[in-house]
Amino acid sequence: MIKTFIIHVSKGYEERRKHIDSHLPSRGINEYEYMLRGDIDDLSDAVRHEFFGSKLSLAEKSCFYKHYLVMKEAVEQNIEQVLVLEDDALLVGSFTQDFSLILSELEGKSNYFANIEEASNSVPLSVRKSNQYLYPCKVNKLCGGYVFDLVFAKKMVEYIESQQIDSPIDGLIGDKIDELQFNLYWVHPPVVKQGSKVGMFESQLSGRTSGLYATVRSWFKEGYRTHIRSHVSKKQKALFENVTKY
């Protein structure tokens, strides 16, 4: 199985860990590693004030740093391919089969970041092709679930360590596609949702709450963006046109 890391805060998020430890095995993932380093309390003054600028909250800095540490781990251990999930991940029932097909489509490719999450936007109907999972795109989604290779990890780690960071991890990845020259893919159909986006968990980053109201609100808001706007917006379709290959 592909090397798998879970982005997780070690204190105060015990319910999320219980969720992962029961949910992932039910979806065929029995071996995974929690990234526990990088909690807010663990961030040194140098990391808080020199590694990062002043625009991000402490929660955003911690989240970014954990994702960075996973990429750093891949570089240091020379891991060729990595799956990353945040600790509120909800995997589709057919995850094992779908993910196997995604990995098969990634075979022979290099220098990539593949976003496997359903997050507000989707690949337009006019772009989709039968039996195709990967779609080159000009922007990133959120970082609740993704796959990257070692070539991408080396580029991103080198860049991050040369800059003072002032962007969330998902935004930075999307902003640096052309500068760092890597291939970014959206996967359709997506195979991961974030539980915090559907009201299952609260989110310190976004301010989302859990419960019935949050679930219904998310269903309408995210449903419109995903299932209607994504298919009628010319701007959305343009994200998948004339994408540079690296």
Residue 206 pLDDT: 47
CATH architecture of 3-238: Alpha-Beta Complex (3.90)
H helices then E strands: how many in the chain?
10, 9
Average pLDDT over residues 112-136: 94
pLDDT of residue 195: 87
Domain ranges for the chain, please list them: 3-238
**pLDDT exceeds cutoff 50 at 138:** yes
Q: What is the pTM of this model?
A: 0.90
Say what the pLDDT of residue 1 is: 78
Q: Which residues of 46-66 are buried (b: 16+ CB within 10 A; e: fewer)?
A: eebeebbeeebeeebbbbbbb
The pLDDT value given to residue 30: 97
In the prediction, which pLDDT does 155 show?
Answer: 98
In this prediction, residue 228 has a pLDDT band, given cuts at 50, 70 and 90, of confident
Does the pLDDT at position 5 exceed 70?
A: yes
Query: For position 217, what pLDDT does the model report?
Result: 58
The tens digit of pLDDT for each residue in 197-220 reads 766 776 555 454 455 555 555 555
Q: 89 or 120, which is more confident?
A: 89
